[in-house]
Amino acid sequence: MTWRKHESNGISRSITTVEAPLDSGGARLHELGYKQELKRDLSVLSNFAFSFSIISVLTGITTLYNTGLSFGGPATMTFGWFVAGFFTMAVGLAMAEICSSFPTSGGLYYWSARLSGHRWAPFASWITGWFNIAGQWAVTTSVDYSLAQLIQVIILLSTGGNNGGGYLASKYVVIGFHGGILLIHAIINSLSITWLSFFGQLAAAWNVLGVFVLMILIPTVATERASAKFVFTHFNTDNGAGIHSKLYIFVLGLLMSQYTLTGYDASAHMTEETKSADINGPRGIISAIGISIIVGWGYLLGVSFAVTNIPYLLSKDNDAGGYAIAEVFYLAFKSRYGNGIGGIICLGIVAIAIFFCGMSSVTSNSRMAYAFSRDGAMPLSSLWHQVNRQDVPINAVWLSAFISFCMALPSLGSLVAFQAMVSIATIGLYIAYALPIFFRVTLARNTFVPGPFNLGRYGILVGWVAVLWVATITVLFSLPVAYPIAKDTLNYTPVAVGGLFVLIVSSWILSARHWFRGPITNIDT
């Protein structure tokens, strides 16, 4: 090894170089204290594709369209999408700036350690890392379980529908679907990064093309279409939840948009496999959010123009059993052609997009588990950060799939309990996003050294906007969703997220503070 000076944005740094030539991302990784263990083959397109396919507007909007219809309806969705999108972009820009300076697979928890100062680094990285990885596992759980539920609806409609004697799979069959999907995802993620890059780009293309096909096809085929006035101004207050405040209803309706626009930290977790990661990692984050906002709005409009009877779409007595978008697709084709086969095929397009979303989510999970265990933060860490001959963290892949299966098991007892579990996917993950940004605008305000991508003098302002937005949605999405409050209507989000917080802090106080020292280097300099 030799030492040389590296100039970046006028800042002189000493970095370690090795015999193999390194691009800027590889050089920065060595400077941060890590040797290259994963194959650096991903282009900026591939990096973007992983985040874009995890955001997957076809996944988030389809699975939570019922929530959007119930709380505010078309007006909440069409305008709330841009509200959530604007603030999500602020979070993404703040994360991209930090990613450019610290392009490692550890991502958020590594950033927190570097930005919180020597005294707070171990605790900051511990709490950020566990919120991040728990949130990621919850995302995979919710995505793959949502796919299992969609398969259930597709089978129901294909066999005659809810009103025609169709087959409705039991909760045990659905959990079996969930396990089978995770098994396939684990197998795919055991392949080399070259194959994963191919599947990632295919997933991104499928999401984009799928959105354009559905947003044009569904309103075109439908014999009854909503007016522009309905789509842009109709505000549904008849949600049966006992809530009458329009502002309150609008806030609850934002959950669909905010849940959809998550998972873009995948670009950060894939940086050790991305060429020129200090530039392309940030580009992946920002482009994934920006393009998702545009195509997602198009998908929302396309579906909403085929909505004419909200109460019927939400009714458990319709052919899709209350699955709103499935009923929209089915009715559009049935009304024109006398059968809903075309609608079922359209649901298949969505199902494949959700499948790709779960696949990319497992990829991101495994890289986070690999990096976190590399720093000794997980039980049996030496096992989870091992890589195989194809430079894949194979054990972390299968661990992520197994935990995501276990997190869906509460659905067998209560869907309310399951929803509380996956609420961590939105709130828990965004808390992990906000923590390093908070440290950057406070403790590291005057010491943060930006990378090639930076926000300049606007970095602090954007960072505070991001932190305040996360604080706001953490409170808003913890509010009751129905009145009067009862056991079956209670919002268990604060219980789930609060329980996770207590568990993380307790483990720190009782054990980890004695041995966890934050990110550790694996280069002997």
- Kindly list the structural domains of the chain, giving each domain's residue range(s) and its CATH number in brackets, ordered by start: 46-513 (1.20.1740.10)
Residue 269 identity: H
What pTM does this model have? 0.86
Residue 40: partners with Cβ closer than 8 Å, 6 or more residues away: 23, 25, 26, 272, 273, 274, 275, 277
The answer to whether 366 and 393 have CB atoms below 8 angstroms apart is yes
How far is it, in rounded angstroms, from Cα 56 to Cα 355?
A: 10
Residue 224 identity: E
Per-residue pLDDT of the chain (525 residues; tens, 9 = 90+): 222 333 333 333 333 333 445 566 667 777 776 677 666 667 788 888 888 888 889 998 998 898 889 888 999 999 999 999 999 999 999 999 999 999 887 788 889 999 998 889 999 999 999 998 998 898 899 899 999 999 999 999 999 988 888 899 999 999 999 999 999 999 999 998 888 888 888 988 998 899 999 999 999 999 999 999 999 999 988 877 778 888 888 988 888 888 889 888 888 878 887 888 889 999 999 999 999 999 999 999 999 999 989 999 999 999 999 999 999 999 999 999 988 999 999 999 999 999 999 998 898 888 888 888 888 888 888 888 788 787 788 999 999 999 999 988 888 877 666 666 667 778 888 999 999 999 999 999 999 999 999 999 999 999 999 999 999 999 888 888 777 776 666 777 888 888 889 999 999 999 999 998 888 765 554
| Sign, CA torsion 415/417/420/422 | negative
**CA trace torsion 38, 40, 41, 42 (10° rounding):** 100
Residue 484: cis peptide before it, omega within 30 degrees of 0 = yes
For 506-511, the CB contacts below 8 A with 24+ separation are 508/123, 508/126, 508/127
Entry field: residues in the chain: 525
The answer to whether 104 and 272 have CB atoms below 8 angstroms apart is yes
How far is it, in rounded angstroms, from Cα 361 to Cα 322?
A: 27
How far is it, in rounded angstroms, from Cα 146 to Cα 138?
A: 12
CA atoms within a 13 Å half-sphere pointing along the CA-CB vector of 15: 22
Both structure tokens of 350? 């969505």
Both structure tokens of 59? 């996944």
Closest CA relative to residue 62, chosen from 352, 477, 267, 336:
352
How far is it, in rounded angstroms, from Cα 53 to Cα 205?
A: 9
